[in-house]
Homo-oligomer: A and B are copies of this chain.
């Protein structure tokens, strides 16, 4: 019955209720599991609106999904219902360079968007690690960002206007084609980061940024993470906003060295990888200044003078993810406690805290992060079938979440809340959760949009 109703909207080939296919939509890249009643692949905004109206009639959940690369169960149908696979709505509708904007459907893969923009000399700055698979819709739903956030901000800084299907099936435009506006409530930013709980994004107008002409990378080694943290503040105070500013602690350094001995990483308490970008001479000047500023605190500084050298220095950072996963073939990386954010001054202390947990619970934890914006990623691996081990991982994650909140931080800086972190929402937002619930109730009174997420 549901299948037939959906088929009338999107055609036979775009609906499935076969259990083998439903299984593929029962998880994302996290440990969260669910079970859909049906999966549907709409091709147009009108189809999305019709599906939402049908779901509202039937009182069924509707869960928007992009690539399924999320790390918190945001797109997992934990309460059943209809999974809206938006990956077929993947057109780049209009590249409008003169207005510095591009119109896209939500299913466009991040990497493809930047490939399409590159010939014009422009780019969409957010740069998630999952660029090769994640969709722009998913990025918007979670306010994703990546390494370049220090200088370029998060996804929300680049969204001018959204087309959204609301819980009653109405199609709404939230913003404007202008680069700035002071007219009306900022519904665009309300939708960004709402993880499909307030509406389904079916189109977006994004602001573009000119591609920098040059980039340079500086590697600085420090005896302690605290010294590295102080160097970051000094760099920023010197008037330089790096395009990336990454930290690796000693565990991360050791793991990468063990994984690939050819990576020439110094033996240090912590290293910073700092990237600056912009005009050619500016990049040279900034790289020099970064080196000078760090020299008082660092034990060693290497400044890449060629693109090749930059790539070599950057290699260590790119290897971190792979190094974690391949330490032990029996263990998988568990994505919990992996995306906290703290005020930047607190990051060195947070790194020390994670190291103490690693010792206390006797499990290896690799820590690395976007120190320029206070975002720390931790990598824990575990044999998923080892119940006791998983319990330890979850205990460690719990301690990490709580400590981040105590420091005035957040349980998620860029991956989202979803199901995995919803139990921490009251703790992190003790006064504002009530306001979030009022808004949720006002815009989705039946609670059909991605229920069971974000603690709402």
Instruction: Please report the C-alpha to C-alpha distance between residue A399 and residue B302 in the assembled complex, in whole angstroms.
Output: 60
In the complex, A286 has a CB within 8 A of chain B:
yes
Write the A73-99 contact mask toward B (1 if CB under 8 angstroms, else 0): 000000000000000000000001111
> With A171-B431, A173-B432, A193-B186 in contact, do A237 and B178 touch (Cβ < 8 Å)?
no
**Complex Cα distance A346/B187, Å?**
24
- Closest CB in chain B relative to A314 CB, distance in Å: 21
- Residue in A156, A185, A341 whose Cβ sees the most chain B Cβ within 10 Å: A185
**Considering the complex, which residues of chain A in the window 139-153 have a beta carbon less than 8 Å from any beta carbon of chain B?**
142-145, 149-150, 153
Q: Are B343 and A178 in contact (CB under 8 A)?
A: yes
Q: How many whole Å from A179's CB to the nearest CB in chain B?
A: 4
The interface-forming segment of A11-19, A39-47, A52-60, A405-413 is A405-413
Q: Mark A220-259, 1 if CB is under 8 A from B, else 0.
A: 0000000000000100111111000000000000000000
Q: Is the CB of A190 within 8 A of B189?
A: yes
Contact present for B172 and A431 (CB under 8 Å): yes
A322 within 8 Å of B (CB atoms): no
User: Which residue of chain B lies nearest to A340 when distances are taken between CB atoms in the complex?
Assistant: B178
- The answer to whether B178 touches A413 (Cβ under 8 A) is yes
Q: Are A184 and B454 in contact (CB under 8 A)?
A: yes
- State the interface size on chain A (CB cutoff 8 A): 100
User: Of A154, A233, A442, which is in contact with the most chain B CB atoms at under 10 Å from its CB?
Assistant: A442
A1 touches B (CB below 8 Å): no
| Chain A residues within 8 Å of B, Cβ to Cβ | 96-101, 120-122, 142-145, 149-150, 153-154, 156-157, 166, 170-174, 176-187, 189-190, 192-194, 198, 209-213, 233, 236-241, 278-282, 284-286, 289, 339, 341-345, 373-375, 408-417, 421, 425, 428-429, 431-436, 438-443, 454
